[in-house]
């Protein structure tokens, strides 16, 4: 008999028909005569109740039907007598696919701490919480592609292995096939990378932006959506060593177009999650964060406030608030500053623009004041910076001057600089950390809880 997904049964009104469901036992209750099994197959946060006449199957047969075991059940779908569910199945056949010995299965009871579940990340997708989070992760990934496709952007695949270290010097993971215990040496005694796989030093990418710009200069509007890697030893609840980034890059857009895009895009994907992940968001709100749904609707319903960095600093200076990190013009804002602007002053998402050039990347368009660049960061409640972007410097000479000021090594960047020599154009783009967006949409507090297999310092086992 063909399997039906549980998601298609929990809200059904078509009863008194034969069904076959397959899934994992969440709980088993009952008495000598009747057993109630809550079965979940990952298609929904909800379980379907299987009602088992113990005499029909025998106590011995039902013994291994415990939390975590996997079953195939056929039977009659009927309107439920009990509360909390519309439908239940009166079991006629049960096949046990796999048992889960209660003496050793780690997910026996409900209510494990998120910290404990992180230690068994290979099993935690089977919990209600992580099922909800990973379904939402899927919906958001789909919404992102959907949004850009509708807007006529092309999904452009940028490389994960890169020869340039322009952006991430010091925080990159090296890629090599050299024997690290005995690397070949040059006459001067340095490691001879000409013998390495690619003939020079390579690393994992920290961002697809520079290559994304090449795509925009040909296809008009592109976006990347792929993993990025940063060997930053910052053990924070907002940083991963491997995270996914979405980076649109658009020819002929200026910073205002860029802000409009970022705002419309965030509203679209959050609304999509609310619509298609409703049950999961409601579950997370109930369990972890009662204000979650209001916060999501608030983003959709309100226009983001736009301020310059200089205005932001003035607000912070006048706030009378004692911050852990002092505030002055030129400082790189900390998340306590960003959250003050968003949560207490503006009470709205904020887009902060025109940052001091010294705290921003070399490729950002320089303003005429000689001090600031056309950067734009989108700041969210609870999160702080969720998007970082800018209009790009399209002028070859200005870009070169900045590169020399910063003493950057241009040998590995010549291909990027060529875009400014051959048909340069105004353009803009931004980067959204996918897991930061997920933190916001799920209401989770720790970024390790919104990616199936988090990579953080000293943690890459499974």
Residue nearest to ligand ATP (CB): 433
Total count of residues recorded for the chain: 462
Task: Using CB under 6 A, pick the residue from 71, 341, 364, 386 that binds ligand ATP.
Answer: 386
Which residue, 299 or 387, has its beta carbon nearer to ligand ATP? 387
**CB crowding 354-367: b at 16 or more within 10 Å, else e:** bbbbeebbbbbbbb
* Segment holding 176, helix H or strand E: none
Residue 61 in tokens: 């047969």
CB-based contact 173:231 (threshold 8 Å)? yes
Counting DSSP H helices and E strands in the chain, the numbers are 14, 16
Binding part of the chain for ligand ATP, among 14-22, 113-121, 240-248, 284-292 by CB under 6 A, reads 240-248
Task: Work out which of 35, 245, 313, 341 binds ligand ATP, going by CB under 6 A.
Answer: 245
Kindly state whether residue 385 participates in binding ligand ATP, applying the rule CB under 6 A.
yes
Q: Using the rule CB under 6 A, is 227 a contact of ligand ATP? A: no
Count of residues binding ligand ATP (CB under 6 A)?
Answer: 16
Which range binds ligand ATP by CB under 6 A, 34-42, 54-62, 238-246, 368-376?
238-246
Report, in Å, the least distance between residue 396 CB and ligand ATP. Answer: 24
Q: By CB under 6 A, name the one of 9, 307, 313, 387 that touches ligand ATP.
A: 387
CB 148 within 8 A of CB 223: yes
Give, for 409, the enclosing helix (H) or strand (E): none
Least gap, CB of 432 to ligand ATP (angstroms): 6
Of 86-94, 184-192, 237-245, 302-310, the window that binds ligand ATP (rule: CB under 6 A) is 237-245
Nearest approach, Cβ of 203 to ligand ATP (angstroms)?
Answer: 15
Nearer to ligand ATP, 139 or 230 (CB): 230
Question: Min. distance of Cβ 48 from ligand ATP in angstroms?
Answer: 37
254 binds ligand ATP (CB under 6 A): no
**Among residues 127, 118, 120, which one has the least CA distance to residue 45?**
127
Listed in sequence order, the DSSP H helices in 196-343 are 209-219, 255-276, 278-288, 292-301, 309-318, 335-339
Q: Residue 243, interface with ligand ATP (CB under 6 A)?
A: yes
Q: Considering the rule CB under 6 A, would residue 357 count as an interface residue with ligand ATP?
A: no
Q: Decide whether 147 or 243 has the Cβ nearer to ligand ATP.
A: 243
* Sign, CA torsion 313/316/318/320: negative
Smallest gap from Cβ 434 to ligand ATP, in A, equals 8
Q: What are the φ and ψ backbone dihedral angles of 356, each rounded to 5 degrees?
A: -55, 140
Which C-beta is closer to ligand ATP: that of 73 or that of 364? 364
Rounded least distance, CB 388 to ligand ATP, Å: 3
Cα separation, 92 vs 83, whole angstroms: 22
Residue 230 touching ligand ATP (CB under 6 A): yes
- Please report, as residue ranges, which positions from 411 to 440 form the binding site for ligand ATP (by CB under 6 A): 431-433, 435-436
Cα dihedral: 104, 105, 108, 114 (round 10): 110
Distance CA 326, CA 58 (A): 71
The string of DSSP codes covering 94-110 is: EEEEE---TTT-TT-SS
**Interface with ligand ATP includes 212 (CB under 6 A)?**
no
CA 439 to chain centre: 7
Nearer to ligand ATP, 198 or 453 (CB): 453
Q: Enumerate binding residues for ligand ATP (CB under 6 A).
A: 230, 232, 238-240, 243, 245, 385-388, 431-433, 435-436
């Amino acid at each position: 008999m063909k399997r039906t997904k549980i998601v298609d049964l929990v809200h059904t009104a078509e009863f008194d028909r034969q069904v076959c469901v397959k899934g994992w036992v969440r709980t088993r209750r009952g008495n000598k005569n009747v057993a109630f099994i809550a079965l979940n197959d990952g298609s929904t946060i909800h379980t379907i109740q299987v009602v088992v006449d113990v005499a029909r199957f025998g106590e011995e047969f039902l013994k291994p039907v415990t939390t975590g075991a996997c079953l195939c059940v056929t039977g009659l779908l009927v309107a439920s007598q009990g509360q909390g569910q519309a439908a239940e199945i009166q079991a006629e056949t049960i096949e046990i696919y796999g048992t889960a010995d209660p003496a050793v299965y780690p997910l026996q009871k409900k209510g494990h701490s998120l910290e404990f579940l992180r230690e068994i990340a290979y099993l935690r997708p089977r919990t209600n919480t992580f099922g909800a989070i990973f379904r939402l992760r899927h919906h958001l990934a789909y919404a992102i592609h959907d949004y850009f496709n509708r807007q006529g952007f092309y999904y452009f695949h940028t490389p994960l292995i890169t020869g340039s270290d322009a952006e991430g010097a010091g925080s990159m993971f090296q890629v090599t096939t050299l024997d690290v215990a005995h690397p070949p040496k040059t006459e001067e005694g340095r490691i001879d990378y000409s013998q390495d796989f690619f003939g020079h030093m390579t690393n994992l990418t920290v961002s697809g932006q520079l290559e994304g710009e090449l795509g925009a200069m040909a296809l008009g509007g592109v976006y990347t959506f792929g993993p990025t890697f940063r060997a930053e030893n910052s053990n924070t609840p907002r940083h991963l060593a491997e995270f996914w980034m979405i980076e649109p890059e658009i020819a002929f857009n200026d910073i205002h177009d860029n802000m409009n895009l970022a705002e419309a895009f965030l509203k679209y994907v959050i609304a999509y999650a609310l619509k298609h992940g409703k049950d999961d968001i409601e579950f997370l709100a109930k369990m972890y964060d009662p204000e979650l749904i209001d916060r999501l609707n608030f983003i959709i319903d309100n226009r983001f406030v736009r301020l310059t960095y200089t205005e932001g600093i003035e607000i912070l200076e006048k706030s009378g608030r004692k911050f852990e990190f002092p505030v002055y013009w030129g400082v790189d804002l900390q998340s306590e500053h960003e959250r003050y602007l968003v949560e207490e002053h503006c009470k709205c998402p904020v887009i902060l623009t025109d940052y001091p050039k010294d705290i921003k990347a070399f490729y950002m368009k320089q303003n005429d004041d000689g001090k600031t660049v056309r950067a734009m960061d989108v700041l969210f409640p609870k999160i702080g910076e969720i998007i970082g972007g800018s209009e790009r410097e399209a002028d070859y000479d200005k870009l070169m001057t900045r590169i020399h000021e910063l003493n950057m090594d241009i040998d590995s960047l010549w291909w990027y600089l060529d875009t400014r020599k051959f048909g340069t154009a105004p353009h803009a783009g931004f980067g959204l950390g996918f897991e930061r967006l997920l933190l916001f949409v799920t209401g989770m507090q720790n970024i390790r809880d919104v990616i199936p297999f988090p990579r953080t310092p000293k943690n890459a086992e499974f």
